[in-house]
Amino acid sequence: MSLDISAVRAIATLARIELGEEELAPLAGELSNILNFVEQLSEVNTDGIEPMSSVADLGLPMRADLVTDGDIAEQILANAPEAAEGFFTVPKVVE
C-alpha cells in the first residue's frame, strides 16, 4: 500500500495537522514505508479470531450515581490560552 500526496493531505486534514506542501512528498514516502512494513500481517491467518481490544479480562467496573466532582470552573479555565466571562473562547464558528 502506498500513499500519494493527496492521500496524505486528506489524512492530515482529518487529523487537523497543517502540513506545508514541501512536507507532503517526504511524508508520503515515510508513511508508505510504514504501511508496507505493517502489511506483513496479511500473512497471518486470523479466521475466526476475535479482535483483542484489551488484555484486561474483566467486566467494566461501575460507580455510584453521586455528584463528587465539578464546581471548579476556575481550575478548569486556569490553563486556557483564551477565556472570557467564564467560557473558553475560540474563533467564531459559523453554522
21 binding another protein? (CB under 8 A): no
Cell triple for 74: 476556575
16 binding another protein? (CB under 8 A): yes
Question: What are the residues facing 84 on neighbouring strands?
Answer: 87
| Minimum distance, C-beta of residue 73 to another protein, in the bound complex (Å) | 4
25 binding another protein? (CB under 8 A): no
Question: What are the residues facing 39 on neighbouring strands?
Answer: none
Q: Which residues of 61-73 are buried (b: 16+ CB within 10 A; e: fewer)?
A: eeeeeeeeeeeee
Q: Left, alpha or beta for 45 (phi > 0: left; psi -120 to 50: alpha)? A: beta
| Minimum distance, C-beta of residue 6 to another protein, in the bound complex (Å) | 13
**Contacts to another protein from residues 27-66, by CB under 8 A:** 27, 30-31, 33-35, 37-44, 46, 49-56, 58-66
Enumerate binding residues for another protein (CB under 8 A). Answer: 3, 8, 11-19, 27, 30-31, 33-35, 37-44, 46, 49-56, 58-73, 75-82, 84-95
